[in-house]
Structure 1
Amino acid sequence: MNKKTKGAIAAGAAALLLAGGAGTFATWNAQANLNGGSVNSGKLTLTATGSTWSDSHGVINNWANFKAVPGDVLTYNAQATIGAVGKNLNASLTVDPASITGALAASLGTPTVTAKIGSNPVTTITEANDGNVVDVAVSFTFSSAADNTTQNLSASLANMTLKLQQQ
């Protein structure tokens, strides 16, 4: 081998060594474990208790034999205990219209829900209401425009669902 070839090989080897070493420059770093604790979730529960039905004439004592007519406003009155734990919790009470079934359901319209804790009306449930008993009134208005096709029909309210839902 001549001197020029040996020199070229040596120069190439030196270049490879330098290039390979370029990735070995150290950078400083450090780390620390943070004690962030844990995150816990709250709760939102509703436990229904006693209930009654009423219309504009008062309590309906024999609901099984009651026959509604167009224009009647029927109200389901119940009590429920609220479970509401969570710093930024805001919830509202509604009735799931899909839980009301039967041929007469559409003529009863969308139920309206009103609620009181003690004598105070409430529209929003917060953590401050945890453990409170809420008086709930769910009202249905049998459409006064209902025609003869609504006679002898029924709506099942047996699975009516009161929902306490976070907003």
Structure 2
Amino acid sequence: MASTTAEKPRSRSKLTKALVATGVGVALLAGGGGTFANWYDEATVNPGKISSGQLTLGAPAGGAWFSESTGPIDQIGTYRIVPGETLTFTQTVDVTAEGEALEYTLGTNLADPSVVGSEELAAALEQSAEFTVNGDDVTDPLTAAVGTRTVVVTAKIVFPYESGNETQLQTVNLKNVVLRASQVGPNAV
């Protein structure tokens, strides 16, 4: 008689457990930042710091009026301008400009300040401004200098000779005149 031994069925639970354990291991390696490479290394670099520059105007200093007809003017408030005369106001201001690629312009709103007083006289006066550094006219754009440079601002007020009688005994106050330094983009001028 032949003996028959019944084979025991393999437990599916052992096979399932093995597959699940393998899957979890692969998932941990892939999701946990591990690598399948045999060699691995990291290095940290320190590229340094970045610092910004500046563009600032100091407080305007001094300031003097001058008539091309009569010379220095001590008290502009009591001076009486007449048609055909040109007055200049000269003042210095420090400009601090730092930045290797910094380019800037200087300007003023002198041609359109907040004028208080006679509309007739205000309309007759012609205003302009000039900027110089070390006696040389400023050309735009300026480039940054290391540190601070002193800029001489000269405002010119012309009372045209042809001005009519309506401009007599009038007063204007050049108020809120703004001097500005403005950065311009590279090649923007």
TM (normalized to structure 1)? 0.68
Task: Calculate percent identity across the aligned residue pairs.
Answer: 28
1:63 deviation in Å? Answer: 1.1
Q: One-letter code of the match for 2:64?
A: T
Q: Partner residue of 1:80? A: 93
Q: CA deviation at 1:131?
A: 0.6
Partner of 1:156: 173
Identify if the C-alpha distance between structure 1 residues 145 and 127 changes in structure 2 by more than 3 Å, giving closer, same or farther.
same
1:44 to 49, 55, 68: 55
- How many aligned residue pairs are there? 139
Indicate if the aligned counterparts of 2:98 and 2:144 stay in contact, CA closer than 8 A.
yes
Distance 2:99 2:149 in 1: 15
Q: For 2:45 and 2:161, locate their aligned partners in 1 and report how far apart those are by CA, in whole Å.
A: 66
Does structure 1 residue 147 correspond to structure 2 residue 159? no
TM-score, normalised relative to structure 2: 0.61
- Which letter does structure 2 place at the counterpart of 1:115? F
In structure 1, runs of 5+ residues without a counterpart are 1-32
Establish whether residue 99 from structure 1 lines up as the match of residue 93 from structure 2: no
SS of the residue corresponding to residue 162 of structure 2 reads: coil
Secondary structure, counterpart of 2:175 in structure 1: coil
How far residue 67 of structure 1 moved from its aligned partner, in angstroms, is 0.9
Give the alignment of 1:7-156 within 5 angstroms: 40-47=51-58, 48-56=60-68, 57-96=70-109, 97-102=111-116, 103=119, 104-109=121-126, 111-124=127-140, 125-128=142-145, 130-156=147-173
Contact 2:115 2:175 in 1 (8 A): no
- Alpha-carbon distance between aligned partners in 2 of 1:40 and 1:81, rounded to the nearest angstrom: 22
Which of the two has greater helix per residue? Answer: 1
Tell which deviates more after alignment, 137-146 or 87-96: 87-96
Over 3 Å counting, the alpha-carbon distance change for 1:41 and 1:119 in structure 2 is: same
Give the distance between the partners of 1:145 and 1:49, measured in 2 at CA. Answer: 35
What is the distance in 2 between the residues matched to 1:79 and 1:106?
A: 27
Relative distance call for 1:144 and 1:37 in structure 2 (3 A) is farther
- What is the CA distance between 1:141 and its match in structure 2? 1.0
CA distance, structure 2, for counterparts of residue 70 and residue 99 of structure 1: 21
Unaligned segments of structure 2, at least 5 residues: 1-43, 185-189
Shift in Å, 1:70: 1.6
Contact residue 51 and residue 78 of structure 1 kept, 8 A: yes
The structure whose Rg is larger is 2
What is the deviation of 1:50? Answer: 0.8
Q: Is the 8 A contact 1:94 1:163 kept in 2?
A: yes
Residue 113 of structure 1: how far off its partner (Å)? 2.0
Give the Cα separation in 1 of the matches to 2:146 and 2:139: 12
Report the secondary structure of 1:152's partner residue: coil
1:68-119 Cα deviation digits (max 9, x unpaired): 112211111001111112222222222203324132322222x322222223
Amino acid at match of 1:49: A
Distance in 1 (CA, whole Å) between partners of 2:99 and 2:84 is: 42
